[in-house]
Amino acid sequence: MKKSLSELAIFGGTPAFSETLHIGRPNIGNRQHLFDRINSILDTRWLTNYGPFVEEFEQQIAENLGAKHCIAMCNGTIALEIAIRAAGLSGEVIVPSFTFIATAHSLQWQEITPVFCDIDAETFTIDPSKIEALITPRTTGIIGVHLWGRPCDIDGLTDIAVKNNLTLLFDASHAFECSYHGKMIGNFGTAEVFSFHATKFLNSFEGGAVVTNDDELAKKIRLMKNFGFAGYDNVIYIGTNGKMTEICAAMGLTSLESVNDFIAVNRFNYYKYKEQFKGIKGVDLLTYDESEKLNFQYITLLIDETVSRITRDELCQILKAENILARRYFYPGCHRMEPYRSYFPHAGLLLPQTEKLVDQVLSLPTGTSVKEADVDKICDLIRFIIAHGPAIRKKMHNKRQGNTILACSQTLT
């Protein structure tokens, strides 16, 4: 527990953690089960292309979600690209800017223009009431993102999609094992896309999947992820290589066995953070609708600098010096990254909620590698920082000025 400003690592004190505490540390299941599966892969010499583990992984995911089809892929981005192509999207597609860049890139990569829509001020997911103003004759679809595992307003989006004859897809990368009105994510829209990247709640090292209840679409996606082959020597679609390998499926199956344990740890950490952040001025923990099924994978703070008297970026910098790698997910918004910021330099004017939020969010470490004592230490530190906000800012400012003067004098000598 720090007692004075000079004990903060940013001012030369000893960091709170001797090793970096990362956000996004993978949840790891039973090692022996993974090793057994890997041995079996090596014994059978079936490494990829419709192996038994991929098949089992797909079946288990579909069963778990109560959906008809799961098509496993090499990662979430390729899964998005294939879902978009198979669903026949073209022209313009409406997406939130407040998401990981892959949501927008998976469209642009196929020369489909992502049209950025603002988010709702409460849910931080795409705001259905802003969509119709963005529809043009070129619009073919909407992609909602269940950000941080908190579902979009699926009913609102479905109404607009039906009314305007648009295809509705969901980027459900964060939302495996989450529900909406009691129904598992994976069952909405034309299809939903998951990521099983190392940093995700459920990981298969790298991986992703398209989940759908549409038989025809599933068939098409299966062909497209395998170069368009419909049997030996017969290609019927343009396709790519989106296949998941056996070793990734082995990891995915191993992770699936431990889903309840992962949730229990995440939930515990979430409640611990929630308890600790009560009453810290200007620091709000983003909460979940606890009547739903949740994976609790993300601990996200909103920093209101007018109250906290320290900016999100200053807090992030101070925590980094303490070896706590908090991340500004998803700063600065897709519209402020290339190529979109060159294509649409004024997009921010239509995205006031996004513009506000990107400067406030800070994600903190959680997951099975983060212990109760770690959470306590992080919260103590943040409490201390906020309590001394103005003094810390001043000291940081003086330090910056000192460094500038030093750098200038070194340049002159």
Confirm or reject binding of residue 25 to ligand T4K (CB under 6 A).
Answer: yes
- What are the structure tokens assigned to 284, written together? 């709000």
CA distance 106 to 15: 40
Q: In the set 2, 150, 197, 309, which binds ligand T4K (CB under 6 A)?
A: 197
Residue 98 · residue 330 · CB < 8 Å: yes
Of 171-179, 210-218, 370-378, 381-389, the window that binds ligand T4K (rule: CB under 6 A) is: 171-179
Of 87-95, 98-106, 178-186, 230-238, the window that binds ligand T4K (rule: CB under 6 A) is: 98-106
Phi, psi of 93 (to 5 degrees): -130, 135
Q: Could you tell me the smallest distance in angstroms from the CB atom of residue 395 to ligand T4K?
A: 27
Q: In the set 70, 102, 253, 362, which binds ligand T4K (CB under 6 A)?
A: 102
Q: In the set 27, 103, 125, 297, which binds ligand T4K (CB under 6 A)?
A: 103
Q: Which is nearer to ligand T4K, 76 or 282 (CB)?
A: 76
- What are the structure tokens assigned to 386, written together? 């906020």
Kind and range of the H or E element at 250? helix 246-257
Q: According to CB under 6 A, which residues from 326 to 355 bind ligand T4K?
A: 329
Cα distances (Å, whole numbers) of residue 193 to 17, 80, 187, 352, 367: 36, 6, 10, 27, 22
CA distance 123 to 114: 21
Q: Which is nearer to ligand T4K, 23 or 392 (CB)?
A: 23
Q: For ligand T4K, how many residues bind (rule: CB under 6 A)?
A: 23
Token pair 């530190």: residue = 381
Residues of 230-265 as b/e, b for ≥16 C-beta within 10 angstroms?
eeeeeeebebbebbbbbbbbbbbbbbbebbeebbeb
Q: Could you tell me the smallest distance in angstroms from the CB atom of residue 198 to ligand T4K?
A: 4
Confirm or reject binding of residue 145 to ligand T4K (CB under 6 A).
Answer: yes
Question: What string of H, E and C letters represents the secondary structure of 108-137?
Answer: HCCCCEEEEECECCCCCCECHHHCHHHCCC
Q: Could you tell me the smallest distance in angstroms from the CB atom of residue 128 to ligand T4K?
A: 18
Q: Which is nearer to ligand T4K, 208 or 389 (CB)?
A: 208
Confirm or reject binding of residue 302 to ligand T4K (CB under 6 A).
Answer: no
Proportion of the chain in helix, strand, coil states, percent, rounded to 5? 45, 15, 40
Confirm or reject binding of residue 125 to ligand T4K (CB under 6 A).
Answer: no
- What are the structure tokens assigned to 363, written together? 């994600």
Q: Which of 253, 286, 61, 299 is nearest to 176 (CA)?
A: 61
CA distance 366 to 301: 13
Q: Which is nearer to ligand T4K, 25 or 274 (CB)?
A: 25
Confirm or reject binding of residue 22 to ligand T4K (CB under 6 A).
Answer: yes
Residues 6+ apart with CB under 8 A from 7: 13, 14
Confirm or reject binding of residue 24 to ligand T4K (CB under 6 A).
Answer: yes
Q: Which is nearer to ligand T4K, 253 or 325 (CB)?
A: 325
Q: According to CB under 6 A, which residues from 310 to 329 bind ligand T4K?
A: 325, 329
Q: In the set 127, 153, 171, 177, which binds ligand T4K (CB under 6 A)?
A: 171
Of 17-25, 61-69, 232-240, 385-393, the window that binds ligand T4K (rule: CB under 6 A) is: 17-25
Give residues in contact with ligand T4K (CB under 6 A).
22-26, 75-77, 99-100, 102-103, 145, 171, 173-174, 195, 197-199, 208, 325, 329
